[in-house]
C-alpha cells in the first residue's frame, strides 16, 4: 500500500491506536512498549501484512530528529537537580567518556572481525554507543523494581545525556569515512566545538527561555506549552546553525528550565510528557515501516556477534573505565554495565550514512537495527532478574513509601500564616513567580475584596491582598516575608 494524502491520517491514527492498546500488554512480559511499537511498524510495512511502502530516508531522519528533540527535552524537564547533583560527575563521565570508550572498543572489534575500514568500524561503534532511557525505565516500572542508593538517578542522567556524545562521534567518523585522506586529529576541533558551543548555548537559551516564559503575557494557559515548544526548536536550530550540538543544547536548556519557577509549570510538564510518548510511538512506528525484515536476515550472524560483544565487553569496558576513580561497589558497576539498552537514537543516527551515500551504509543500518532489537530483548527482559541477583534491588513498596514521604515533605503544610500586603510592600504589582519564594512554601490562597483566589505563578499581587501562606516550618514563613518585603 502506498502512503497518500487520502489515507495517511487514517492509517497513522489506526497504527497509533493499536500501538497504545497493544503496548499495555508489554508490562506483563517485561518487554518495553517501544519495542512493540517497532514491531507494529514492521508488521504494517512492505514486508508485513500492511504492505505500506515507505523508504524515504530523509523523511525518516526528519521525524527522528524532531522526535528526539521532544524526548530529550521532556527528559530534561523531569530531571531533578537535587537527585542528580550527588552523582553528577559519574553521570557525565558515563555519558561522555563512557560513550567514547564503548564506541572505540566496539569499533576495533568490528575492524578485526569484518572487512570494514577502521573509520567505518568506528562509525558503526559510534552509532550504537548511547543508551535509551525510555526503554530502561519502562522495564523497571513493569517489574515493580526499585534500585538501591543512587543507581536510578545515575542511570537516568546517563541515559538522558549520552545521545549528544554519540551524535557528535557519528558525525565525526562519518566525515572521516567520506574524506579518507583526513586524519583522526582533523575531527577533534569539530568534537570540541560541538560540545562547548552546545553546552554554552543550552545554558544561555535556558536563561532566555525562563525570562520569556515568565515575562510574556499570553492570556491563555494552553499557549504556554506551545511557547516552550517554539523555544525548544529555536534552541536546537540556532545551536546547530552556529556549529554546536543541538541535542546537547536542548537537554541542558530543559534541565535548567525544569529546576526553575515557571508560570504554568505543571501544565508544561504534563504536556511534554504526553508529547514525548507520542513522539516515541511515532518514531518507532516510522523506523518499523522503514525497515525491510527480509534484508536483515542475511546479517543475523554478524549482528548477533556484534550485539553480544557490545553487551558483554564494550559496554562494561566503557562503564568500568569511566567509573575507575569513584568509590562504588563492584555489583553496582556490573548493573550499570548491564543497563545498556539501545533504543531509537542509534537507528536514527544510522540514517546519516545512508543519506551520505557511503558504500557500506545499508549494511551498517541493518546491523544497527539488529543490535538495537537484540539489546532490548536480551537485556530488557532480564533487568529485574539481574538487579535481584546482584543485590541492588529493593522491594517496590519501599521505594513507593520513600517517594510518598518525599512528596509529602515537599507540600508545605506544617506552618501557616496570613500575610497582609501593604501599599509599600515590594511584592505589589509583582507576579508570584518573580518573588523567588523558597521551595518549601506556597501561597495557597489570596483573599482579595472579600473573595478567595487560587493563585498560580502568573498571578499578580495587589496591595491590600491577604496571602494565606503554607510552609514546612516557621523558617519558611520568615523567608516568605523577606521575599515579600525586601
pLDDT tens string 130-175: 887 666 655 655 555 567 777 878 887 888 888 899 999 999 999 9
- Is the pLDDT confidence value at 194 over 90? yes
Helices (H), 78-117: 81-84, 88-93, 99-113
Distance CA 131, CA 95 (A): 9
* DSSP H or E stretch at residue 340: none
- Is the pLDDT confidence value at 321 over 70? yes
Task: Characterize 100-115 residue by residue with b for buried, 16 or more Cβ atoms within 10 angstroms of its Cβ, and e for exposed.
Answer: bbbbbbbbebbbeebe
Tell me the angle at which helices 118-127 and 361-375 cross, rounded to the nearest 10 degrees.
40
Distance CA 249, CA 73 (A): 10
Q: What average pLDDT score do residues 380-409 get?
A: 63
Taking the CB of residue 23, how many other CB atoms lie within 10 A of it? 20
Tell me the angle at which helices 99-113 and 315-322 cross, rounded to the nearest 10 degrees.
150
Phi, psi of 365 (to 5 degrees): -60, -45
Position 365 scores a pLDDT of 92
* Domains of the chain as residue ranges with CATH: 53-403 (1.20.1530.20), 412-485 (3.30.70.1450)
Each residue of 355-388: pLDDT tens digit? Answer: 998 989 999 999 998 898 888 888 877 887 888 8
Position 397 scores a pLDDT of 47
* pLDDT band at 412; cut points 50, 70, 90: very low
Position 66 scores a pLDDT of 93
Quote the mean pLDDT of the chain: 84
Whole-angstrom Cα Rg for the chain: 25
Amino acid at each position: 500500500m502506498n502512503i497518500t494524502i487520502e489515507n495517511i491520517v487514517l492509517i497513522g491514527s489506526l497504527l497509533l491506536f493499536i500501538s497504545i492498546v497493544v503496548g499495555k500488554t508489554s508490562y506483563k512480559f517485561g518487554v518495553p512498549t517501544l519495542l512493540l511499537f517497532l514491531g507494529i511498524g514492521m508488521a504494517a510495512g512492505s514486508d508485513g501484512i500492511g504492505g505500506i511502502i515507505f523508504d524515504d530516508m530523509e523523511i525518516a531522519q526528519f521525524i527522528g530528529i524532531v522526535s528526539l528533540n521532544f524526548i530529550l527535552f521532556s527528559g530534561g524537564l523531569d530531571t531533578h537537580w537535587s537527585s542528580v547533583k550527588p552523582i553528577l560527575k559519574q553521570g557525565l563521565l558515563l555519558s561522555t567518556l563512557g560513550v567514547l570508550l564503548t564506541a572505540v572498543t566496539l569499533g576495533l572489534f568490528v575492524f578485526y572481525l569484518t572487512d570494514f575500514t577502521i573509520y567505518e568500524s568506528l562509525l558503526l561503534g559510534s552509532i550504537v554507543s548511547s543508551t535509551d532511557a525510555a526503554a530502561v525505565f519502562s522495564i523497571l516500572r513493569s517489574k515493580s523494581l526499585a534500585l538501591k542508593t543512587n543507581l536510578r538517578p545515575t542511570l537516568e542522567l546517563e541515559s538522558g545525556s549520552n545521545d549528544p556524545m554519540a551524535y557528535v562521534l557519528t558525525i565525526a567518523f562519518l566525515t572521516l569515512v567520506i574524506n579518507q585522506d583526513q586524519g583522526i586529529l582533523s575531527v577533534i576541533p569539530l568534537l570540541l566545538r560541538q560540545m562547548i558551543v552546545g553546552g554554552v548555548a543550552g545554558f544561555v537559551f535556558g536563561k532566555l527561555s525562563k525570562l520569556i516564559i515568565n515575562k510574556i503575557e499570553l492570556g491563555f494557559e494552553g499557549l504556554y506549552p506551545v511557547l516552550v515548544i517554539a523555544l525548544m526548536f529555536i534552541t536546537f536550530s540556532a545551536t546547530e546553525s552556529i556549529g554546536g550540538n543541538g541535542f546537547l543544547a536542548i537537554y541542558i536548556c530543559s534541565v535548567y528550565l525544569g529546576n526553575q519557577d515557571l508560570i504554568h509549570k505543571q501544565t508544561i510538564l504534563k504536556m511534554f510528557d504526553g508529547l514525548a510518548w507520542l513522539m516515541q510511538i511515532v518514531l518507532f512506528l516510522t523506523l518499523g515501516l522503514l525497515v525491510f525484515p527480509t534484508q536483515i536476515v542475511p546479517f543475523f550472524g554478524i549482528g548477533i556477534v556484534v550485539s553480544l560483544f557490545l553487551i558483554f565487553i564494550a559496554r562494561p569496558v566503557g562503564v568500568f573505565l569511566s567509573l575507575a576513580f569513584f568509590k562504588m561497589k563492584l555489583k553496582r558497576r556490573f548493573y550499570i554495565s548491564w543497563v545498556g539498552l539501545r533504543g531509537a537514537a542509534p537507528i536514527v543516527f544510522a540514517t546519516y550514512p545512508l543519506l551520505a551515500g557511503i558504500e557500506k551504509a545499508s549494511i551498517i543500518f541493518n546491523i544497527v537495527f539488529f543490535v538495537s532489537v537484540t539489546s532490548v530483548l536480551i537485556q530488557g527482559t532480564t533487568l529485574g532478574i539481574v538487579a535481584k541477583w546482584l543485590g541492588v534491588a529493593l522491594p517496590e513498596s519501599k521505594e513507593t513509601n520513600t517517594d510518598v514521604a518525599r512528596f509529602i515533605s515537599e507540600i508545605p503544610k506544617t506552618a501557616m500564616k496570613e500575610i497582609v500586603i501593604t501599599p509599600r510592600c515590594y511584592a505589589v504589582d509583582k507576579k508570584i513567580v518573580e518573588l523567588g519564594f523558597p521551595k518549601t512554601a506556597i501561597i495557597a490562597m489570596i483573599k482579595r475584596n472579600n473573595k478567595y483566589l487560587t493563585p498560580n505563578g502568573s498571578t499578580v499581587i495587589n496591595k491590600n491582598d491577604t496571602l494565606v501562606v503554607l510552609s514546612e516550618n516557621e523558617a519558611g514563613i520568615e523567608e516568605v516575608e523577606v521575599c515579600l518585603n525586601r
